[in-house]
Each structure stands twice: as C-alpha cells, then as structure tokens.
Structure 1
Amino acid sequence: MSVNEGRRAAQAGEWIAAGHAFVRAAVAGSAEGAELAVEVTVELVPLADGGSAEAAALLAGIYLEYSDHAARPTAMSYARAAAEAGLPAGQRIYGHLLAMGLGVDEDRARAVELFRSAADGGDALGMYDLALLTDDPEKSLTLFEAAARAGVVVAGASLAARLSALDRDAEALGWYVWAAQRGHLGAMNAAACWYRDGFGTTPDPVQAVRWFFGMLANGNGDGVHEAVDLAKAGAVNEKQIREAGRLAGTPTAAESLIGTVFRGGQG
C-alpha cells in the first residue's frame, strides 16, 4: 500500500510525501520500497538544499538506512541541518549519529540532549532512543510506554524486558503479547516461552503453541521444535493445537504438527 501511495505522491510532485511512503514500505520489508526511497533522493536534495528541514531529515534517514557507508558524511550534514532547524526527526537522527559515532565523533551527552528535544517535540522514535540512554529507571519505563503507544513496536518489547527485570512479570507478559500481536519476533518467542513456563501467568500451552506458530508464520522456525515438544509431552491435544493454529492464523502449521506427533508424520 505504501509503495502505491508513494507512486501517487510522486506523480503529483509531492516528493516528501512520496519519500515517507517509500520508507514506510521499506520498513515493512519491501525491497521495492527501499529502492524507490533511494531513487527519490534525487528530488529531495534540491528541497533540502533550499531549506526544507523535513526533506533534510528524510534524506539523512534514507542515506543512513539504504545507502552504503560513503553516504554517511552527507547523511550527517543533512541530519545536523534538520536538527539545527528544530525538527524533532532531525534531532533524533542527528542524535543517533552522535550516539553511535557514525560520520561524527561520538558524543552521547549531546545525543541525549537531542533525543530529549525530539521526544519533547512528540517524536516517538526519539522517545524510544531517549529511553535506551536514560539512567532513570522509572523515566525509561514512561518513555518506552509512550513510544509504544505512539506506534513503535520495539518499544513495547523493550518495556516488557525492563518490567521483567523489575520482577513485574504480569505487566511484562502483557507488553510481550502487545508487541507479538504487532509482529515483533522476539516478543512472540518471549510470549510463547512465558505461557509455556507460567511466567507472569498460569501455564497456557495453547497460547504457547499459538505464538510459536506466530513465529513460523513470520518466517522464523525456531519455535517449531518447542511446539513439537509440547505436543509430545501431552501438554496439548489435537483440538488444542488446531485452536492454537486458528489463533495464529496458521491452520496448515497446526495440521502439520498433528501429523508429525499423532499420526507418524502423516500431515
């Protein structure tokens, strides 16, 4: 969808909107989106050079994510320009460069300042980056949650991990499930294991198998043997496996597991 949106924006000469749409597609896993994002930089450069902070920040992000290391100095220049113009996205991107020492000397203290400005400006990824660097545990929890509720899925998984470290396991599981429902593979694995082992809840093998199936549906088969072990141990029967498959939207995986465990490998 975002690729088509980007094409429509490009046809209308709305190059910033097109760039954002192509980047969204690339983040969702579209190779075409990444290619088109790089192509649209040709149209964004004049806008950025003409003073558009949004174009500059967009350029910096595209150069960082979808170009080789030779583009880092250019990315740094545009990110700094966007940051100096007060654009939250530019502050966050330039802060990332400073935090990682990419194309510029590492300066974590300045990075924190920039992330704080970006977060104060409503930039959800800036909230997430600030949460990673803050020394205040409660502040980090608040920032992770704010970023998650603004749509940063990895922030929900990070929040779950922080809550787990504080022995707030029921809350942690809730956030693992939240992130798993939005496609985060690590959160799927955590949710599956926690439901299997009864962390933060009573053991629920159906939910465990459901999230192991969810991993498989997202291209990761690491949980398959775990689901097989649960079935072989008698933790789930055929009806429960089918329910797990229904919940995960993977009925074929359920039938395959049933065939492997209960019917001697006949799917």
Structure 2
Amino acid sequence: MDERAGDPAHDDLEAGREAVAAGDWLAAGHAFVRAATEGSAEGADLAVRVVGGLVPLADAGSADAAALIAGILLEHSDGSALPTAAAYARAAADARHPAGQRTYGHLLANGLGVPADPVTAKALFRAAAEAGDPYAAFNLGQLSDDFDEALALLRTAAEQGVEEAGAVLADRLAAVDRDEEALGWYLWAAGRGHIGAMHAAASWYRDGFGTAPDPVEAVRWFLVMFAHGDGDGVHEAIALVKAGALDAEGIRRAGRLAGTPGAADALLPFLP
C-alpha cells in the first residue's frame, strides 16, 4: 500500500499522470498545478512539461488552454518565458476568460513581459472579479483607492479561500484601528497557514491588541509558526516564558492548542 495515498499533492500527481495517459492535457495541467500549489516540486516540473501538449489546443482557439499555459509559465518558469506567458494570457483575456484576464492583468500591473499598464490591469482585474475569480478580487482589492470597496473585495476573496486576502484585510482594518475585526481575520488566515498572520496573531495576543493579553494564545501561535518551518517567533515565546507570563501548565496548554507538545516542553527550562 502506498503510504502517500490520501495526500492531496500525491493524489493530484496521480490524477495528472492518468490524464496525460488519456491525452487530456487540460485535466493534466490543472492537476499538476494543484499539486504544485500544495508544495510539490514534481508537480511544478510536470506542469511545465504539459505545456507542450497544451500549445496546440491554445493555438486552435482554446481560451482554457491559453490561460493555463500563461499561469504555468508565470508561476513555474523563469523570466525567459514571460513573453510567451504574456501572449497566451492576452489571448485568453481577449476571449474574456477570467483566469486569463487576471493573469494578463498581473503582467500589466507589474510590467512583466509587457510594458506596465496599471489602468488596463485594473480593468482586467475588475472584469475577472465580476466573473467570480477570487484572485482577481484580491488583486483589485489591493489596488483599489476606495477603502470600502477594497475591504469588500478582500473579504470576497478571503471567503472564497484566498488566505493572503484575509491577512491583507486584517492589515487594512488594523490601519484604521478596527482591531477586534483585524484580529479575527489574522486568526482566520493563520488557521489556513499564513505565516505573517500567525506572527501578527501571536504578537497581538501578547500585547493585547484587539483582545485582552493572553500569553497562552501568544505562545500557541509562535509555536504554530515554528511547526510551519518559521522560527522567527521562538525567541519571543522564550521571552514570554522567561518573564513568567505563563506557568508550566500554560506552556503545555499552548503546546496542545498548537499541536506541538514536544516544542512546548522545550520551553519549560526557560521558566524563571
């Protein structure tokens, strides 16, 4: 029995290989992109390889294939592929494909493979967002000069699963002292793996922004950061322990909440 079965990236890799065997290049490309998004380097490599099978479809007029090619080349190839990515993104955008509009808008907003054109970029993001593309809503939310519109767009993107949108939304709310709402969105994004939101949540619980100070929750999120491979919060957790902000049981509780009891035990020797 393959112990990797049930792992999303592994399952997507298998689905992609099956699609390649069946000659379904669109399904294969989407599966490999999903695997890459889940952290699979093999998925990223295989997505790039699938481009060769997608090109005839795109050249024959498939906006789906053109948008997928553009996204793969933008995310998983080097700068030399940008002109090709831009050409296919524009073709998909001209066909009013939401992912193509969003990708071409991103290229125009940042001057990648094409001259920068922020006005057209915003128009493309808006069209894609209105068609239901959550990443376009996220991009437009960051560019909008209308504060209320920006909040609405970021909230829409977050509610459709764009974790970074939740973190940016929290930043915007914090900037206008809507701290309780901001903390809620930091926690939302932190719970979905956003490292910056984890650090913000830990720091806010430590310092009492948007809530009463709670050293257990602070250490919890510092430990979650560590579990996700980022040790930047460890020294701050140690400082809380050294200051006597929580006792041994509080440290262990933080570890249980974080799902990292071993890391919590490592903090016990720092108790005063």
| Aligned CA-pair RMSD | 1.1
Q: How does 1:117-136 map to 2 (within 5 A)?
A: 117-136=127-146
SS of match in other structure, 2:140: helix
Deviates more, 1:200-209 or 1:62-71: 62-71
Instruction: Write out aligned runs for 1:146-157 (5 A).
Output: 146-157=156-167
Sequence identity percentage: 63
User: Is residue 58 of structure 2 the alignment partner of residue 71 of structure 1?
Assistant: no
How many angstroms does 1:66 deviate by?
A: 1.1
Q: Deviations over 1:67-89 (max 9, x none)?
A: 11111110000000000001000
Which of 206, 213, 216 is the matching residue for 1:206? 216
1:41 corresponds, among 39, 51, 74, to: 51
Cross-structure match for 1:173:
183
Gaps in structure 1 of 5+ consecutive residues: none
Identify the match of residue 37 of structure 2 among 27, 32, 37.
27
Q: Which residue type is aligned with residue 159 of structure 1? A: L
Match for residue 241 of structure 2 among 231, 246, 250: 231
TM-score, normalising length: structure 2: 0.94
- Once the two structures are TM-superposed, the CA of residue 238 in structure 1 deviates from its matched residue by 1.2
Deviations 1:241-262 (A, max 9, x none): 111111111111011111x314
Q: 2:170 aligns with which of 160, 175, 185?
A: 160
Aligned to 2:270: 261
> Partners of 1:235 and 1:213 in 2: how far apart?
16
Corresponding position: 1:100 with 2:110: yes
Distance 2:21 2:261 in 1: 41
CA contact (8 A) 2:247 2:271 kept: no
Match of 1:183 in 2: 193
More deviation, 163-172/239-248: 239-248
Distance in 2 (CA, whole Å) between partners of 1:213 and 1:118 is 38
- Count, aligned residues: 262
TM-score, length-scaled by structure 1:
0.96
Amino acid at match of 1:261: F
What is the DSSP-based 3-state SS (H/G/I as helix, E as strand, rest coil) of the residue aligned with 2:23? Answer: coil
Matches of 1:34 and 1:195, distance apart in 2: 37
State the AA in 2 paired with 1:149.
E
**Match in the other structure for 2:71:** 61
Q: Which runs of 4+ in 1 moved over 6 A?
A: none
Letter in 2 for 1:62: I
Distance 1:58 1:15 in 2: 10
2:205 alignment partner in structure 1: 195
Quote the Cα distance in structure 1 between the aligned partners of 2:28 and 2:254. 40
- Structure 1 distance, partners of 2:207, 2:214, is 8
Gaps of 5+ in 2: 1-7
The Cα of 1:33 is off from its aligned counterpart by 1.0
Report the alpha carbon displacement of residue 205 of structure 1 after superposing the two structures with TM: 0.7
Q: Give per-residue Cα distances to partners, 1:28-78, cap 9 Å, x unaligned.
A: 221111111111111111111111111111100111111111111100000
Q: Which residue of 2 aligns with 1:3?
A: 13
